[in-house]
Each structure stands twice: as C-alpha cells, then as structure tokens.
C-alpha cells in the first residue's frame, strides 16, 4: 500500500502520453479483481478440475462476465465455448511386455521394470520392435545436432539419454527436451524411450499413470506424435541390459555425455527386441475453452487478432485427503488470479472510448494442469483463422502477495513484444527482469508456448523478485504451490492484481494498436523454427 501513491504520481505524470489509459489508482479495479477471484476460488467450485462440474460452473461464470463486459461470443457455433474432446486412457489389466536379450526372454513388470504409457490413439497395441540408441536424440540444425545421422530408425524404438548437452540457453534446452519424441517420429521410429537418472526423468512411474489428452475427430492427439506407438520408461537395471552385446555400455555413453559436452555421444543399433501387448481403457469427456472477442475498429487490421488468455482449470479435489483435512485445491493464485486479471483487462479494453485497431480475443483455457491441453487444442483448432493470430499475452499464476515493482517476461526477448513490455512497464514504474529460475523452464511449461509453437510471438508475465518478491516466491513455491493452501486465506494484495491487469492491458493494447503486428526478431531461434516465412524486425532496433 505504501507503494501505490508513487505509482499514482507516476501515472499522472505520464497522463499526457496515455490520455485514454485507465490508471490503477481506481480502487474499483482492485475490487473487481477481488470479486472474480473470490468466486472462482470458492470451495463450491471444488478446485475447477478439467471436465468437472466445478470447472463448468467457472466456465459459465466467465462467459457471463464476457457478456456483461460487452464481448462477442467467439467459440464454436456462435457460442462462448469451444468444447475440447478429452480422453483419459488407463490400463484395466497390466500390459504384457517381454524383452528378448541374447536369445533369452525376460518378462517386464509394468511400473517396476518398465512403464509403458497408456495410449489415447490406439486402443490395442501389439508390437515387436528393436531399439536404436540415438545419443541425446536431437535433430536441430541451428545448434549443430544431428543424432539420427546414419541411423536407421524405421520400425525401431529410439533410446535417448535424457537432457541436452550443457551450455544451451535454458529456453532452447527446454524446447529440445519437449520435442524429442517428435524428432524420433520424424526419423521413422515407432517408439521412444528416454533414459535419465531419477527425478523428473523417472518415466517408469510417470508413464504407468493414466494419461489425459485431447483427441480430435481426425484421431490426432496432443501428446503422441503421429507414428509413435509406444512411449516407454525403463528401470536402471533394464536400461543397462538394453546395451548388452552393443559396441558400448550405457555407463560408457553416459560418462561421455557428462564429460564432453556438445554434441553428445553418437548412436548405434542395440540387440534386444521388445514385444508389447497392451489394451488401453478409454473414458471420453469434454471441457470448454471460453472465448470472447472485442472486434477491432480498423477496417483492415480488425481481421488480425491479439489474444489475452489465462487458464481457468486447477487440480480439483485431493483424492487421498484424511478426514478433516482441507481437500480442495482452490487455485486462488494458480490461476483464479490470472483469469480475474484477464477479465479486468477486458473491462479496461471495453471502457475505452476508442476500440483497439486489431480485434482482441479473450480465452479462459481448460486442461492446463493436465499438460497445457486446452491451449494446445485451441492453438491447433482455432476459432479464427490461424494466421490471423498475431500476438498473445498469457496470464498465469501472478503472485499477488506483494506490491511488485518488476516482472519477468517469458518469451519477450524473442520478438518485438520485448520492447512493448518494457515500454508498458516503464509507463507504470515497473521494470523487466531476467528469468530468475531458468531451471524451471517456464517458457515451455506454460500455455503461451503452445502458440509460440505455431509461430505466434507470445509473452507470459510473472511478478518479479524485486521489492521482497524473491523470498515470497521461494516460500510460496515450496509451501503453497499446487497445495490446498493456495486458497482465499492468503493475504492477497488486490491492488497488485489491479496493476497486473493494467500492465497486461497496456501490453495487449499496444499489440492491438501498433502500426506493425508483433514480429519475431531477425535470427531468433524460435521465430526461425516456428515461423520461418513470417515478417521480421531488426534485432537491434527492437531492444
Ligand atoms: Zn498450476
């Protein structure tokens, strides 16, 4: 609260530059953010799990707010919703897996020796296939990686070391880690195994769990690249045995990977052969993206769309709660706060005397906590022409617990969005800081990445580490994040919510009004990869 008078002063000082811009000094804005968070995070919505009634009530609420704000429905068939077709796949009986090693057949137990992932695209799977070790399993010309060179993967299962060679920028590293099964599929593989050393790479347990994914009417799914039949994790012991009779042992290639850095060990064919018989059980359900539009005012630019979005879903109800224990994952900051600030940004847009030049789409996403699924589905099945989406702002988990004075803008450095964020921040006395936790790979772990993958310059803002933010973030991530304690008993700073909404409004407004659409910077890795033919801005001028 001490901070706010300074901001109000700053805003009035720049008022001539932003004559039509609302200021955060309006206490009603903070109260509107509060009202939305209090509804969306209430116990009655039972944690807004994807596909649940609580989520649907939240979606109905967002649609009501969209109508009250004056947006137009922009979902399917003239309505507010795009119903995402979800499928939950699990095993009724454990899959049967055997490994033939040197003429001997070894039975593999699911979730112990190996973990095969249930499939949302193939109900029964009968497969016999050999393995090929592919080093880190990377194909990426820009970084000089070609681990599939000279290897024949046709009908084989690719076996990759987890991770990437050291020294890559964290965002590229995270992107490559998330793309390995697709790279294996492109090389002709029918399966993919990643061998890690515990922790996040413990895919034996992870892959044995039920899988939720979208599956469209063409049978395409978000999690499974076309051609990949099995995604598999192996225990340390079985992973070692896979290399029996091979030119080198697993320990030897792992040691080389640790020692030598780029580009990692060369691949070679392995001798064992895997046989799999697996029957997946499917449960289908739908859960909506909620989509509203504010039509642009410029006759030519109104056909282009800027997207403002935030995920509405959270984790539902804790299944193993003890009697009397708080079991509801309210997700007050993750991400009722993001949706509430998106709604407030929509109100700020609607309250302006002049509409933005480009059209603005507002989307509340489903399935984020299940793997960025709703945004992925929308990005691959947009309700407006895909190429008309020219820029995007994602509002995910703003930590509204302190008067933040800086933000981290994930994705901003790659496009002209960086300059837009810096300018909007400066107009409010908010600075832009570098990523304080690159190891978390937030860039690829948030919904906006699903649009980046389709070539859209996009940004996610996180409240920053300055002004006490660091300690608050660290303590919140270790104690509250994804627990039932992310609820309304937290001391939420509603003024911070109003300022976060205003900042995101200003960024989206600049994207919507700028003479040029947001553009990737010349030579940017992600721009060149995902939108090779799109327009470019000079790298220097944009900074
Ligand atoms: Zn979350």
Separation of 435 CA from ligand 1 center, angstroms?
A: 18
What is the average pLDDT value for the chain, to the nearest integer? 91
* pLDDT classification of 25: cutoffs 50, 70, 90: low
* pLDDT classification of 198: cutoffs 50, 70, 90: low
Separation of 314 CA from ligand 1 center, angstroms?
A: 6
pLDDT of residue 1: 16
DSSP 415: B
DSSP 260-328: H-TT-PPPEEEEEEEEEEEEEEEEEEEEEEEEEEE--SSTTGGGSEEEEEEE--B--B-TTPPTTS--B
Separation of 331 CA from ligand 1 center, angstroms?
A: 8
Separation of 308 CA from ligand 1 center, angstroms?
A: 18
* pLDDT classification of 21: cutoffs 50, 70, 90: very low
From CA 192, how far away is CA 182, in angstroms rounded?
Answer: 9
Separation of 487 CA from ligand 1 center, angstroms?
A: 13
pLDDT of residue 196: 84
Q: Can you read off the two tokens belonging to residue 469?
A: 């933010």
Separation of 223 CA from ligand 1 center, angstroms?
A: 19
Residue 295, pLDDT > 80, answer: yes
Phi-psi region for residue 101, left (φ > 0), alpha (ψ -120 to 50) or beta? beta
From CA 265, how far away is CA 77, in angstroms rounded?
Answer: 52
From CA 480, how far away is CA 477, in angstroms rounded?
Answer: 6
Q: 10 Å Cβ neighbour count for 279?
A: 16
From CA 140, how far away is CA 403, in angstroms rounded?
Answer: 42
Residue with tokens 């599929």: 185
Separation of 533 CA from ligand 1 center, angstroms?
A: 34
Separation of 499 CA from ligand 1 center, angstroms?
A: 22
Separation of 447 CA from ligand 1 center, angstroms?
A: 11
Separation of 390 CA from ligand 1 center, angstroms?
A: 26
State the helix-helix crossing angle for 27-40 and 53-69, rounded to 10 degrees: 150
Residue 160, pLDDT > 90, answer: yes
Chain centroid offset of residue 349 CA: 26
Q: For the segment 454-485, what is each residue's pLDDT rounded down to a tens digit?
A: 999 999 999 999 999 999 999 999 999 999 99
Separation of 294 CA from ligand 1 center, angstroms?
A: 28
Peptide bond into 263 cis (omega under 30): yes
Q: For the segment 224-278, what is each residue's pLDDT rounded down to a tens digit?
A: 899 999 999 999 999 999 999 999 999 999 999 988 777 889 999 999 999 999 9
Q: For the segment 347-380, what is each residue's pLDDT rounded down to a tens digit?
A: 999 999 999 999 999 999 999 999 999 999 999 9
Length of the chain: 543
Peptide bond into 335 cis (omega under 30): yes
pLDDT of residue 362: 98
What are residue 536's phi and psi, to 5 degrees?
Answer: -130, 150
Range 50-72 average pLDDT: 98
Could you tell me the end-to-end alpha-carbon distance of the chain, in angstroms, rounded to an integer? 32
Separation of 279 CA from ligand 1 center, angstroms?
A: 31
Residues around ligand 1, an ion, CB closer than 5 A: 334
Separation of 350 CA from ligand 1 center, angstroms?
A: 29
pLDDT of residue 432: 94
Please answer whether residues 342 and 308 qualify as being in contact, where contact means their C-beta atoms are separated by less than 8 angstroms. Answer: yes
Separation of 113 CA from ligand 1 center, angstroms?
A: 30
Separation of 318 CA from ligand 1 center, angstroms?
A: 14
* pLDDT classification of 393: cutoffs 50, 70, 90: very high
From CA 490, how far away is CA 476, in angstroms rounded?
Answer: 10
Give the Å distances, CA to CA, from 134 to 113, 128, 202, 217. 21, 19, 19, 33
Q: For the segment 410-453, what is each residue's pLDDT rounded down to a tens digit?
A: 988 899 999 999 999 999 999 999 888 777 778 888 899 999 99
Half-sphere exposure for 54 (CA within 13 Å, toward CB): 23
Give the Å distances, CA to CA, from 478 to 286, 481, 483. 33, 7, 10
Separation of 289 CA from ligand 1 center, angstroms?
A: 17
Is the pTM higher than 0.85? The answer reads yes
Residue 310, pLDDT > 50, answer: yes
Separation of 333 CA from ligand 1 center, angstroms?
A: 9
Q: Can you read off the two tokens belonging to residue 111?
A: 């979730």
pLDDT of residue 3: 27
pLDDT of residue 171: 85
pLDDT of residue 270: 97
Separation of 61 CA from ligand 1 center, angstroms?
A: 20
Residue 304, pLDDT > 50, answer: yes
Residue with tokens 């940017």: 524
Separation of 452 CA from ligand 1 center, angstroms?
A: 20
* pLDDT classification of 135: cutoffs 50, 70, 90: very high
Could you give the percent of the chain with pLDDT greater than 90? 81
Separation of 155 CA from ligand 1 center, angstroms?
A: 37
Separation of 68 CA from ligand 1 center, angstroms?
A: 28
Separation of 369 CA from ligand 1 center, angstroms?
A: 5
Range 36-63 average pLDDT: 98
């Amino acid at each position: 609260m001490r901070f706010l008078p300074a901001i109000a002063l700053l805003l009035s000082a720049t008022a001539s530059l932003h004559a039509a811009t609302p200021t955060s000094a309006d206490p009603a804005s903070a109260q509107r953010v509060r009202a939305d968070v209090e509804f969306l995070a209430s116990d009655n919505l039972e944690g807004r799990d994807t596909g649940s009634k609580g989520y649907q009530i939240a979606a109905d609420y967002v649609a009501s707010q969209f109508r009250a704000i004056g947006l137009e429905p922009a979902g399917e068939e003239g309505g507010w919703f795009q119903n995402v077709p979800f499928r939950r796949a699990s095993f009724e009986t454990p899959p049967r897996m055997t490994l033939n090693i040197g003429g001997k057949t070894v039975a593999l137990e699911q979730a112990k020796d190996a973990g095969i992932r249930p499939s949302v695209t193939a109900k029964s799977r009968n497969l016999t296939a050999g393995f090929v070790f592919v080093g880190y399993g990377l194909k990426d010309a820009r970084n000089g990686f070609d681990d599939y060179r000279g290897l024949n993967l046709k009908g084989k299962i690719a076996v990759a070391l987890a991770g990437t060679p050291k020294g890559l920028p964290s965002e590229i590293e995270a992107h490559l880690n998330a793309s390995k099964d697709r790279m294996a599929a492109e090389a002709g593989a029918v399966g993919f195994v990643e061998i890690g050393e515990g922790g996040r790479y413990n895919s034996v347990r992870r892959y044995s769990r039920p899988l939720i994914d979208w599956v469209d009417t063409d049978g395409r799914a978000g999690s499974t690249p076309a051609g990949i039949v099995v995604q598999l994790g192996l225990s340390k012991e079985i992973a070692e045995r896979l290399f029996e009779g091979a030119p080198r042992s697993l320990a030897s290639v792992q040691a080389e990977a640790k020692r030598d850095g780029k580009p990692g060990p060369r691949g070679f064919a392995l001798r064992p052969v895997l046989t799999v018989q697996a029957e997946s059980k499917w449960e289908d359900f739908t859960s909506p993206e909620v989509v509203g539009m504010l039509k642009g005012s410029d006759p030519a630019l109104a056909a282009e769309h800027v997207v403002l979005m935030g995920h509405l879903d959270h984790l539902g109800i804790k299944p193993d709660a003890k009697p009397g224990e708080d079991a509801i994952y309210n997700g007050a900051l993750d991400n009722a706060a993001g949706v509430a600030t998106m709604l407030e940004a929509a109100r700020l847009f609607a309250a302006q005397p002049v509409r933005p030049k480009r059209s603005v789409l507002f989307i509340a996403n489903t399935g984020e906590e299940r793997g960025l699924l709703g945004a992925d589905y929308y990005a691959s099945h947009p309700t407006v022409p895909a190429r008309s989406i020219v820029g995007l702002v994602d509002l995910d988990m703003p930590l509204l617990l302190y008067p933040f004075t800086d933000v981290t803008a994930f994705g901003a450095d790659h496009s002209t969005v960086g300059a837009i964020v810096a300018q909007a921040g400066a107009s409010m006395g908010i600075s832009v800081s570098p990523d304080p936790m690159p190891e978390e790979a937030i860039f690829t772990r948030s919904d906006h990445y699903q649009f980046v993958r389709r070539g859209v310059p996009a940004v996610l803002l996180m409240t920053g580490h300055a002004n006490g933010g660091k300690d608050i973030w660290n303590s919140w991530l270790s104690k509250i994040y994804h627990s039932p304690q992310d609820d309304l008993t937290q001391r939420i700073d509603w003024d911070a919510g109003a300022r976060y909404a205003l900042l995101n409004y200003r960024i989206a407004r600049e994207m919507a009004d700028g003479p040029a659409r947001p553009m990737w910077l010349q030579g940017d890795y992600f721009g060149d990869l995902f939108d090779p033919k799109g327009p470019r801005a000079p790298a220097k001028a944009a900074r």
